[in-house]
């Protein structure tokens, strides 16, 4: 029994934790495997794998016990209802209500629940008074739209006995084929099956049963050792509801690659998990945890979980979203494709077979039929929401370490960035700024003057981010803990008393943001008069929200803890972190009446939907080349899974990076959507200005490159915020027909700009091989060297001072070229447009601009332009919609002009040209601007520069070359 620990025991644990922590700064220590379960140590994981093994071993003798009773089936208004029965050994039939919803978006949703538990017709063990149902509220937290049913869904005229078929989706072009016995559901597009559920018969919904003790001296017929309670690492989980896992196999016929289901430190294209060379032994695990010193190339769980998977093959993408917040494991194997007469020769060489199992909750799975990655991003985003459009500063450079130790220290760092002319936007405070780890307070000795500090930052439009964690110090006289207890807003233990565990402050309680009253309270804590010393330029970092509990099982909370609504922690674990971030986000929206600025919150823990609330980072990585290399696949998979505002600690959290590693990390980090340097308390200071020459100059240049491209980044964020498309895009998003690129996760494109990057992530490497999929011309970003040739590798030089960046022909890239101290100071700066001509002498691109901080953009207060270069004419067209704030915004931007246009791949005949003709909308007459032409030589493209065309960024105009 895991009774409450004595204070002494807790202290010992805490001290041993500190000792462990101290060891982490030594190089080459690795994750404590013994702290985290393997599949065979997790009862339901082991049971479901064994179930699958039995099915496979039985071959055609396997009789899956689930069937649909056709007489119960009805289809109405886009919903199909029926009763599935599970026949158990005694012959009894367990009733499982099935609902398939056909959604307007073209997605289909399959929900299977258990009638006895729904009706509460079960007995709980240990006299528990938790809820009897399977958890059915994940939707409430994760889903914000996209559930409108497609009422036009109809039974298909081509009926077949033993099957129910429904036409649905766009113009009813999709077909769901439901086989009654054994139950199998498959989904077709264009006459071809793309997704199959229970094709292998691994469906397993552990029905409720009473615990029957075997007579003395006998064993139970089934292995019940993990059914009624389960121990790990000295903690016992009491399991009042008994075994209740849900499992399903999902097959993607002809699909060789699957992606997503972050967070794992692994390749973007997921590996097989059932052993064999190059494969994992364990399934990918999703159970938000604080994994110290995490290891690379591993299916181990990390801090966040998004159970959304994409499958891709030549010219087709499909996906599934497994809406379940409990501990989840996913097995993946790839089988030879069986020849399919309907496949029209499109099938890949392999079929990916997946097997999903969660410890509790309903079976709830969404099936998306693509047909391409963009459509998947969009449909998934309709359900869980799109990336919040952040403030402009949030996509600039963030300077963090554990810890800037005093307010004077912060001010000195700020001054030194200026002295060395290195731009940055945000400086961060880790836990040491608080008074004794009591959040919402300042240490009066070290931070006596938060206002003076923030005034200095504000003078150059810089911001402060302060950490606030959800564990609250259990100390008498700390008003916040008194309120938490007084209002009864904490997470409870299994006995219904407030849960007490160890975290940074020692003995702590945790706010339960599943409780609406706790959300309101947590929000209120951020108002300026409550959290004294914070101002309009203070933003928040929520860390440790998995939640991390130093003395808890697997460094988190006991699963039999109890949340608001009498749900067990087991049911909601993976959503827990998101509820805290959400409450913080809402708190920042409301912290001052009349002040409407967009919040910024960074979170470590996340679930499907957290993209609506801020940014994530990949947690406590290490100052090693391998961690640098792994950061890109991790960031790309975040984008694939709908949460693209992602980054890794630049420089590596644990350890001291060598100078070359630090340089390469900055050159990579400038391509993370979330770009922050961070370091452990025991590392040496490594702010860019401390690195010495030539490193400091090289790092400054890299950071300036990020700032120069902020207009392109902001435009890419805007696209993500309306369509869900990743901000940095993997090769298969851009070239979905080129199989060579499907597993590529070390080169990527920035938004729709055609900028293709392959950072150097290995020591002593002075060139990279970039793969070009299409036959377009690509140009080196800095010197315009031409690379051309489809389906070929090209060697691009990459000495230490160079990031390999190419520009694909056919794009217009917006930039701001004047170096400044912060992005805020660039607001009124003029633009440069880089026109990268394609083989036909054409190019296009877009630009999105708004005030970068408020919500006027929701009322039309923005500029959205399309630039088109065709037939020697360059035009800017409005693609924005008008709103009540449009005119005022355009007026405020009237003086923001274009100061330079660079045309790359300029035709040779422009050599004779000295001017171009500029016609701005509303101008009385055309004007001339000077053109300077530089011919092609030494493999470098010809280019032309138009100086000061003097057209407005918010205006329509035409320039004739
Ligand atoms: C695949 O997509 C490419 C590019 O969109 C297209 O040209 C080609 O026809 C498609 N191939 C098939 C077999 O659909
Ligand atoms: C976010 O907070 C709002 C209240 O401000 C609440 O209605 C909503 O359910 C919360 N969502 C999540 C995911 O916590
Ligand atoms: C160039 O023009 C040809 C002929 O119109 C067309 O087939 C090709 O797709 C064009 N290339 C690009 C990159 O638009």
Q: Which of 206, 500, 543, 571 is catalytic?
A: 543
Residues 287 and 203 in one domain: yes
d(CA 58, CA 695): 63
Which of these three, 324, 352, 376, is where a domain ends? Answer: 376
Find all residues with CB under 8 Å of 129, minimum gap 6, and list them.
Answer: 496, 566
Domain membership of residue 818 (yes or no) is yes
In this prediction, residue 789 carries a pLDDT of: 87
Per-residue model confidence as pLDDT tens digits over 177-227: 999 999 999 999 999 999 999 999 999 999 999 999 888 888 888 889 999
Residues 342 and 440 in one domain: no
Let me know the angle formed at the C-alpha of 268 by 264 and 271, rounded to the nearest 5 degrees: 80
Give the tokens for residue 26.
């030594």
Domain membership of residue 563 (yes or no) is yes
Sheet with 316-322: strands ordered across: 66-76, 79-87, 93-102, 108-112, 363-368, 316-322, 308-313, 257-260
Residues 200 and 346 in one domain: yes
d(CA 18, CA 90): 53
E-assigned strand segments in 693-736 = 728-730
In this prediction, residue 339 carries a pLDDT of: 54
Active site residue 921: no
Q: Whose CA is nearest to atom 9 of ligand 3?
A: 840
User: Residues near ligand 3 with C-beta < 6 Å?
Assistant: 810, 838-840
Q: What DSSP designation does 282 have? A: S
Domain membership of residue 672 (yes or no) is no
Which of these three, 595, 617, 639, is where a domain ends? Answer: 617
Per-residue model confidence as pLDDT tens digits over 297-349: 999 999 999 999 999 999 999 999 999 999 999 999 999 876 554 545 444 57
Residues 364 and 443 in one domain: no
Q: Which of 114, 256, 414, 546 is catalytic?
A: 546
d(CA 489, CA 511): 6
252 HSE (CA, 13 A, CB side): 28
Domain membership of residue 797 (yes or no) is yes
Higher-confidence position of 281 and 9: 281
Where is 602: in which H helix or E strand?
Answer: strand 601-603
Mean pLDDT of the chain, nearest integer: 95
Q: Confidence class of residue 13 from pLDDT cuts 50, 70 and 90? A: very low
Higher-confidence position of 286 and 343: 286
Domain membership of residue 948 (yes or no) is yes
Rg (CA), the chain: 29
d(CA 617, CA 649): 7
For ligand 3, the distance from its centroid to the CA atom of residue 790, given in whole angstroms, is 15
In this prediction, residue 24 carries a pLDDT of: 45
Residues 62 and 156 in one domain: yes
In this prediction, residue 336 carries a pLDDT of: 84
What is the atom index within ligand 2 of the atom nearest the CA of 575?
13
Mean pLDDT of 367-386: 98
In this prediction, residue 54 carries a pLDDT of: 97
Residues 422 and 318 in one domain: no
344 ligand 1 Cβ < 6 A: no
Helix axes 373-384, 710-723, angle to 10 degrees: 70
Least confidently predicted of 174-188, 259-273, 454-468, 872-886: 872-886
Q: Whose CA is nearest to atom 12 of ligand 1?
A: 315
d(CA 159, CA 131): 41
Q: Is the dihedral of CA 621, 623, 627, 631 positive or negative?
A: positive
Residues 244 and 393 in one domain: no
Cβ–Cβ under 8 Å, residues 836 and 775:
no
d(CA 678, CA 9): 33
Split into its structural domains, the chain has a count of 3
For ligand 3, the distance from its centroid to the CA atom of residue 155, given in whole angstroms, is 43
Active site residue 620: yes
d(CA 687, CA 419): 13
For ligand 3, the distance from its centroid to the CA atom of residue 838, given in whole angstroms, is 9
Per-residue model confidence as pLDDT tens digits over 776-812: 999 999 999 999 989 999 999 999 999 999 999 999 9
Q: Which of 184, 266, 364, 620 is catalytic?
A: 620
Share of the chain above pLDDT 70, in %: 96
Where is 413: in which H helix or E strand?
Answer: helix 407-419
Domain membership of residue 530 (yes or no) is yes
Residues 737 and 800 in one domain: yes
Which of these three, 617, 647, 674, is where a domain ends? Answer: 617
Distance in angstroms between the alpha carbons of the first and the last residue of the chain: 81
Mean pLDDT of 827-840: 97
E-assigned strand segments in 860-926 = 862-870, 873-878, 898-904, 915-920
Domain membership of residue 680 (yes or no) is no
Mean pLDDT of 495-514: 98
Let me know the angle formed at the C-alpha of 836 by 832 and 838, rounded to the nearest 5 degrees: 160
Q: Please say if the pLDDT value at position 26 is more than 70.
A: no
Find all residues with CB under 8 Å of 832, minimum gap 6, and list them.
Answer: 814, 815, 816, 817, 898, 899, 900, 901, 902
Cβ–Cβ under 8 Å, residues 35 and 233:
yes
Residues 401 and 296 in one domain: no
What is the atom index within ligand 1 of the atom nearest the CA of 736?
2
User: Residues near ligand 2 with C-beta < 6 Å?
Assistant: 141, 519, 578-579, 582-583, 586, 609
Beta bridge partners of 788: none
Mean pLDDT of 929-935: 98
Q: Please say if the pLDDT value at position 16 is more than 90.
A: no
Residues 743 and 844 in one domain: yes
Give the tokens for residue 575.
């959503």
Instruction: Please choose from 737, 773, 774 the residue to mutate so as to test ligand 1's pocket, defined by most ligand atoms within 8 A of CB.
Output: 737
For ligand 3, the distance from its centroid to the CA atom of residue 585, given in whole angstroms, is 47
Find all residues with CB under 8 Å of 646, minimum gap 6, and list them.
Answer: 615, 616, 617, 618, 634, 635, 638, 639, 672, 673, 674
Range of the domain at 819: 723-960
Where is 98: in which H helix or E strand?
Answer: strand 93-102
Residues 791 and 846 in one domain: yes
Where is 643: in which H helix or E strand?
Answer: none
Mean pLDDT of 555-576: 98
For ligand 2, the distance from its centroid to the CA atom of residue 63, given in whole angstroms, is 44
Q: Please say if the pLDDT value at position 170 is more than 70.
A: yes
CB count in 10 Å sphere of residue 818: 12
Residue of 786, 788, 784 whose CA lies nearest to 775:
788
Per-residue model confidence as pLDDT tens digits over 56-105: 999 999 999 999 999 999 999 999 999 999 999 999 999 999 999 999 99
Q: Please say if the pLDDT value at position 21 is more than 80.
A: no
The CATH code of the domain that includes 857 is 2.60.40.1180
Give the tokens for residue 42.
């997790």
Residues 342 and 442 in one domain: no
Q: Helix %, strand %, coil % for the chain, to 5?
A: 25, 30, 45
Q: Please say if the pLDDT value at position 259 is more than 60.
A: yes
* 3-class state of residue 528 by DSSP: coil
Where is 164: in which H helix or E strand?
Answer: strand 163-168
The CATH code of the domain that includes 340 is 2.60.40.1760
Q: Please say if the pLDDT value at position 25 is more than 60.
A: no
Length of the chain: 961
The CATH code of the domain that includes 541 is 3.20.20.80
For ligand 1, the distance from its centroid to the CA atom of residue 258, given in whole angstroms, is 20
d(CA 409, CA 453): 9
Domain membership of residue 519 (yes or no) is yes
């Amino acid at each position: 029994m895991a009774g409450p620990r004595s204070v002494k025991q807790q202290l010992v644990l805490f001290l041993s934790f500190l000792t462990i922590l101290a060891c982490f700064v030594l190089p080459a220590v690795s994750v404590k495997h013994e702290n985290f379960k393997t599949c065979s140590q997790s009862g339901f994981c082991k049971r479901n794998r064994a179930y699958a093994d039995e099915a496979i071993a039985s071959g055609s003798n396997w009789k899956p016990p689930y069937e649909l009773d056709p007489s119960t089936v009805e289809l109405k208004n886009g919903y199909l209802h029926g009763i599935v029965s599970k026949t158990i050994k005694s012959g009894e039939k367990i009733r499982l209500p099935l609902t398939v919803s056909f959604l307007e978006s073209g997605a289909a949703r399959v929900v299977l629940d258990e009638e006895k538990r729904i009706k509460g017709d079960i007995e709980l063990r240990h006299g528990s008074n938790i809820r009897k149902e399977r958890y059915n509220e994940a939707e409430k937290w994760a889903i914000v739209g996209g559930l409108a049913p497609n009422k036009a869904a109809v039974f298909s005229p081509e009926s077949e006995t033993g099957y129910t078929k429904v036409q649905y989706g766009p113009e009813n072009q999709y077909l769901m084929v439901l086989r009654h016995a054994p139950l199998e559901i498959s989904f077709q597009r264009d006459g071809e099956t793309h997704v199959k559920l229970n094709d292998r018969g691994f469906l397993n919904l552990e029905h409720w049963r009473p615990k029957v003790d075997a007579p003395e001296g006998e064993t139970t017929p089934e292995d019940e050792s993990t059914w009624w309670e389960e121990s790990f690492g000295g903690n016992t989980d009491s399991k009042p509801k008994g075994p209740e896992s849900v499992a399903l196999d999902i097959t993607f016929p002809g699909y060789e690659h699957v992606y997503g289901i972050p967070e794992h430190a692994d390749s973007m294209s997921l590996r097989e998990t059932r052993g064999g060379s190059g494969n994992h032994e364990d399934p990918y695990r999703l159970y938000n945890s604080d994994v110290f010193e995490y290891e690379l190339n591993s299916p181990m769980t990390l801090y966040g979980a998004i159970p959304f998977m994409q499958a891709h093959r030549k010219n087709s993408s499909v996906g599934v979203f497994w809406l379940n917040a409990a501990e989840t494991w996913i097995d993946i194997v790839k089988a030879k494709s069986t020849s399919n007469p309907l496949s029209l020769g499109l099938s890949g060489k392999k079929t990916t077979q997946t097997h999903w199992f969660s410890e509790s909750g309903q079976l709830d799975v969404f099936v998306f039929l693509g047909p391409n990655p963009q459509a998947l991003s969009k449909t998934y985003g309709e359900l869980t929401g799109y990336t919040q459009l952040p403030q402009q500063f949030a996509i600039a450079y963030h300077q963090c370490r554990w810890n800037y130790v005093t307010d004077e220290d912060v001010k000195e760092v700020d001054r030194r960035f200026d002295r060395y002319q290195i731009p940055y936007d945000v400086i961060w405070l880790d836990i040491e700024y608080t008074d004794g780890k009591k959040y919402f307070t300042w240490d009066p000795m070290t931070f006596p003057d938060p206002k003076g500090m923030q005034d200095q930052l504000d003078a150059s439009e810089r911001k402060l981010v302060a950490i606030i964690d959800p564990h609250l110090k259990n100390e008498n006289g700390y008003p916040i803990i008194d309120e938490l207890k007084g209002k009864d807003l904490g997470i409870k233990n299994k006995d219904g008393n407030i849960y007490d565990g160890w975290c940074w402050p020692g003995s702590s309680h945790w706010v339960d943001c599943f409780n609406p009253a706790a959300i309101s309270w947590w929000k209120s804590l951020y108002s300026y008069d409550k959290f004294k010393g914070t101002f309009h330029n203070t933003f928040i970092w929520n860390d440790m929200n998995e939640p991390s509990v130093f003395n808890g099982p697997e460094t988190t909370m006991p699963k039999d803890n109890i949340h608001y609504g009498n749900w067990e922690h087991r049911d909601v674990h993976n959503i827990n972190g998101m509820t805290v971030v959400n409450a913080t986000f809402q708190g920042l929206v409301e912290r001052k009446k009349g002040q409407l600025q967009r919040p910024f919150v960074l979170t470590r823990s996340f679930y499907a939907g957290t993209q609506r609330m801020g940014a994530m980072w990949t947690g406590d990585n290490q100052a090693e080349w391998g961690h640098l290399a792994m950061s890109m696949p991790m960031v790309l998979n975040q984008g694939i899974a709908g949460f693209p505002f992602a980054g890794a600690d630049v420089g590596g959290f644990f350890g001291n990076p060598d100078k070359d590693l630090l340089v390469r990390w900055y050159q990579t980090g400038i391509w993370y959507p979330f770009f922050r340097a961070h370091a452990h308390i025991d590392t040496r200071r490594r702010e860019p200005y401390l690195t010495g020459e030539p490193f400091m100059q090289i790092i400054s240049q890299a950071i300036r490159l990020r700032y120069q491209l902020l207009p392109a980044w902001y435009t890419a964020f805007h696209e993500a915020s309306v369509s869900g498309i990743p901000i940095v895009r993997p090769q298969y998003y851009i070239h979905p027909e080129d199989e060579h690129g499907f597993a590529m996760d070390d080169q990527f494109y920035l938004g729709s700009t055609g900028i293709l990057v392959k950072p150097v992530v290995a020591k002593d490497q002075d060139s990279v091989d970039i793969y070009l999929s299409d036959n377009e011309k690509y140009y080196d970003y800095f010197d315009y060297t031409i690379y051309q040739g489809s389906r070929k590798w090209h060697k691009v030089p990459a000495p230490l001072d160079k990031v390999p960046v190419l520009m694909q022909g056919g794009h217009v890239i917006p930039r701001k070229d004047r170096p400044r101290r912060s992005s805020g100071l660039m607001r009124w700066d003029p633009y440069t447009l880089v026109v990268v001509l394609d083989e036909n002498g054409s190019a296009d691109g877009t630009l999105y601009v708004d005030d970068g901080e408020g919500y006027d953009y929701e009322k039309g207060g923005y500029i959205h332009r399309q630039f088109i270069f065709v037939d020697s004419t360059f035009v800017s067209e409005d693609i924005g919609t008008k709103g009540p704030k449009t005119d005022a915004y355009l007026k405020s931007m009237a003086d923001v002009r274009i100061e330079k246009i660079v045309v790359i791949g300029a035709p040779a005949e422009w050599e004779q040209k000295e001017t171009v003709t500029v016609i701005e909308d509303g101008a009385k007459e055309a004007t001339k601007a000077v053109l300077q032409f530089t011919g092609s030589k030494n493999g470098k493209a010809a280019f032309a520069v138009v100086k000061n065309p003097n057209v407005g960024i918010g205006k329509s105009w035409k320039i004739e070359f």
